[in-house]
Amino acid sequence: MSKREVLDRTSPENIALIANLQSNLRMSWLVWLVYRSFGLPILLGMLLTTQPDIVGGIAWQLLWLMPALIVTPWIIKGKSPYVLLVSSILTLVYLGASGVTLFSRFYDNGIDVVWVYAIDLLLMLVINVWLFKLLKRLPSMNGELNS
């Protein structure tokens, strides 16, 4: 039987890694918010032959992003395991929605604009990876169990 390695959450190495993960999460989150809010509707407005309304697309994306905008201050801080856990659930929902949208648009529009949705999916995947890594490193929500 192997011994489980215990993570020293107060070590200088772990604190430096937490700061790096918080920075990566913050940057990825802000890039995704800007891309999803403005980049996606603008690109689709320029690339689709139906010429959808860009302003309407931005308004729709901002409405769709309301839950993400609400948790943005806590994601940017990246310190509270409780809120980050709830945020990770929210980002998993956004990741699933991005994946479904990607595949439905692939069958609807073909490969011409699928890369616009693929960028959104990849950004959400990166955010989820940073969140999971950060949650693993932050102090435990129920305290350390000494066994």
The predicted model scores a pTM of 0.85
Over pLDDT 70: what percentage of the chain? 88
| Range 29-56 average pLDDT | 94
Over pLDDT 90: what percentage of the chain? 63
Q: What is the pLDDT of residue 1?
A: 42
130 or 50, greater pLDDT:
130
From CA 93, how far away is CA 123, in angstroms rounded? Answer: 14
| 3-class DSSP assignment, residue 140 | coil
Burial of 111 from C-beta contacts in 10 A (0-12 / 13-18 / 19+):
exposed
Q: What is the pLDDT of residue 143?
A: 57
Neighbour count for residue 79 (Cβ, 10 Å):
13
Neighbour count for residue 122 (Cβ, 10 Å):
13
Among residues 123, 128, 131, 129, the alpha carbon closest in space to that of 31 is found at: 123
Q: Answer whether 87's CB lies under 8 Å from 65's CB.
A: no
